[in-house]
């Protein structure tokens, strides 16, 4: 048994399926001497198609973003043309008689080992470039859905990976994933967000797990306490299968409340909405009883797009997501790239010393102004398609008032551009995310420039606690129930309520049972969370009154440690909602 970070609650018993960044599938496949030529031809075809993709991408980025940002793809094309790189792959195919996919993987490992011996930053950057090229080549050399062994397709799969990137989720296609385990990540990593949005039990942060598990192993994932058991004995299996059935039964029972109004024990109405990444997530939010989408993360469109989404592509995407949203009630967040989410064509081929506090989100958008204006116009165009809808535009990582004023001017200019072009538009409420401590402390000064506020607790917590949420060494500090976090959240929520500006908390904290009670006590009535958490939060709301929540909050604010706050709330939940224990992560 190994322990990691519990990132998505529940129990899953299934068959391990190990993936890596560039090699999706089972073990390296040997080929016969008669298959060598066809495998070499297959690699050459993939190399040609990749080169054409890079050439197209270089031109598109040069036009939409700028020639300097497009230069990275010229570097990638030069590596792809380099005889040393291609010959190394071809030699492995011929001499070792292995597939092009396996040869590609081994070649990347060869360069990683070779350049790891050097302290030259340039060479280290080239390793990242080689990985990027390998991912593109791999897409033409394999199909994840087709490469899974037939005997595994019929079972419940537990995906094991170093990290689970958005592109990997797309590659997995329609595979039925029952659980997720990653070596890296935290409660707010890609894997965690994807798992929670689909209601899949998941554990992250288990260093070296890929060396201990093999595709085909029987495994148990406990997303409540962060444990993973590899090849358990029969007695252990029977015990966990029983708990797994109870988990599934509870989810089914809770899902039955989808059509009931969300309100507290004393009748206070709540707005429970979903956080989504795509159309499928928006439909899932509706199926779980959401009243709308409180956070549409548009960056996933960029992260999973083969090149650069243009204005028409973005417009079509936003229009489809709005159409799938309950009541067309949706908050669309502009591009939140940077930190742990990067794309090469926006200049993120170089590593920053402190990426979460550096060139990211709205700061990056300001620098690529024309590129940013394309997204704003696409959102305004999509909103105009739904005259009776409630479409809002949200800007991430706003720090000072000057930024918000500048953003409002850009929205006004984009609207004017559309009107001059004869394109229909409509006024869209504009809001900011509160995730930088400076904005939280001075929220009263910023409220004059916004129509609404969304609290991004994921980043706000890590900034307040000076603890990188993806670093397991300091994850014990990155806690939403920390006394300092609670005091800041209370101040922000009460400031917004005082002047009548709608405020929503859209971080992962919104779907956590303990945190929900405290937020309710602070005066928050708008919550946005992973769709899978909506039914349990709705049930919990019906079992607690606002008066009780305020009393618990007052007691929690008197506690001096995070553990004391946590224990206080754990005791309360055991009393008012003991059946929800299966839906919690420690």
pLDDT, one tens digit per residue, over 20-49 is 644 443 445 688 888 899 999 999 999 998
- Residue 77 has a pLDDT of 87
- Residue 146 has a pLDDT of 44
SS3 content of the chain, % helix, strand, coil (to 5): 55, 15, 30
pTM for the model:
0.79
Question: Which domains are present in the chain?
Answer: 2-24+145-250 (3.50.30.10), 33-141 (1.10.274.10), 258-577 (3.20.20.60)
Map tokens 């300001």 to a residue.
366
- Residue 526 has a pLDDT of 98
Residues 385, 425 contacting (CB under 8 angstroms): no
- Residue 27 has a pLDDT of 45
- How far does the chain reach from its first CA to its final CA, in angstroms? 17
CA angle 78, 81, 85 (to 5 degrees): 100
- Residue 355 has a pLDDT of 65
Strand ranges in 168-292 using DSSP code E only, listed in sequence order: 177-182, 202-204, 218-222, 227-230, 271-276
3-class secondary structure, 157: strand
Catalytic residues: 190, 506
User: Which positions of the chain have pLDDT values less than 50?
Assistant: 21-27, 144-147, 150-151, 349
pLDDT tens by residue, 67-97: 766 777 888 888 888 888 999 999 999 999 9
């Amino acid at each position: 048994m190994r322990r990691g970070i519990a990132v998505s609650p529940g129990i899953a018993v299934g068959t391990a399926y190990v993936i890596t960044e560039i090699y999706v599938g089972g073990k390296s496949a040997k080929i016969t001497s008669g298959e060598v030529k066809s495998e070499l031809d297959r690699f050459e075809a993939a190399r040609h198609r990749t080169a054409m993709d890079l050439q197209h991408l270089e031109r598109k980025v040069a036009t939409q973003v700028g020639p300097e940002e497009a230069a990275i793809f010229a570097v990638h094309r030069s590596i792809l043309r380099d005889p040393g790189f291609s010959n190394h792959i071809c030699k492995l195919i011929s001499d070792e008689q292995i597939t092009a996919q396996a040869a590609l993987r081994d070649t990347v490992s060869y360069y990683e080992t070779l350049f790891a011996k050097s302290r030259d930053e340039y060479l280290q950057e080239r390793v990242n470039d080689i990985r990027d090229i390998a991912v593109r080549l791999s897409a033409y050399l394999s199909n994840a859905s087709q490469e899974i062994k037939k005997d595994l397709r019929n079972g419940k799969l537990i995906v094991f990976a170093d990290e689970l990137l958005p592109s990997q989720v797309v590659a997995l296609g329609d595979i039925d994933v029952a659980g997720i385990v990653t070596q890296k990540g935290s409660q707010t990593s890609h894997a965690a967000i994807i798992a929670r949005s689909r209601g899949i039990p998941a554990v992250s942060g288990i260093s070296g797990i890929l060396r201990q598990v093999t595709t085909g192993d029987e495994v148990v994932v406990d997303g409540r306490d962060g444990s993973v058991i590899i090849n358990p004995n029969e007695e252990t299996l029977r015990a966990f299968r029983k708990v797994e059935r109870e988990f599934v039964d509870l989810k089914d029972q809770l899902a039955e409340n989808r059509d009931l109004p969300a309100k507290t024990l004393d009748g206070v109405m709540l707005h429970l909405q979903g956080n989504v990444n795509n159309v499928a997530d928006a439909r899932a939010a509706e199926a779980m009883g959401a009243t709308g989408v409180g956070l549409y993360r548009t960056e996933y469109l960029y992260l999973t797009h083969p090149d650069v989404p243009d204005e028409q592509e973005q417009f079509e995407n936003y229009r489809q997501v709005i159409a799938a949203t309950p009541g067309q009630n949706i908050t669309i967040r502009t591009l939140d790239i940077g930190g742990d989410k990067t794309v090469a064509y926006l200049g993120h081929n170089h590593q920053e010393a402190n990426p979460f506090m550096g060139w990211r989100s709205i700061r990056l958008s300001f620098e690529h102004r024309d590129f940013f204006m394309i997204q704003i116009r696409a959102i305004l165009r999509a909103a105009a398609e739904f005259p009776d809808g409630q479409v809002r535009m949200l800007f991430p990582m706003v720090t000072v008032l000057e930024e918000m004023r500048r953003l409002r001017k850009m929205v006004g200019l984009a609207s004017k551009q559309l009107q001059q072009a004869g394109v229909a538009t409509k006024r869209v409420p504009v809001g900011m995310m509160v995730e930088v401590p400076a904005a939280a402390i001075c929220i009263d000064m910023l409220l004059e420039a916004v129509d609404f506020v969304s609290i991004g607790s994921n980043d706000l917590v890590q900034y307040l606690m000076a603890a990188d949420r993806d670093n397991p060494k300091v994850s014990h500090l990155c806690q939403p129930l920390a006394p300092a976090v609670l005091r800041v959240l209370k101040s922000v929520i009460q400031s917004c309520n005082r002047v009548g500006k709608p405020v929503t908390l859209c971080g992962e904290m919104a779907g956590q049972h303990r945190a929900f009670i405290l937020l309710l006590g602070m005066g928050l009535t708008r919550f946005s969370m992973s769709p899978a958490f909506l039914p349990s939060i709705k049930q919990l709301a019906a079992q607690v009154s606002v008066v009780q929540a305020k009393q618990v909050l007052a007691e929690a604010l008197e506690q001096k440690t995070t553990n004391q706050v946590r224990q206080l709330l754990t005791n309360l939940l055991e009393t008012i909602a003991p059946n929800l224990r299966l839906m919690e992560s420690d």
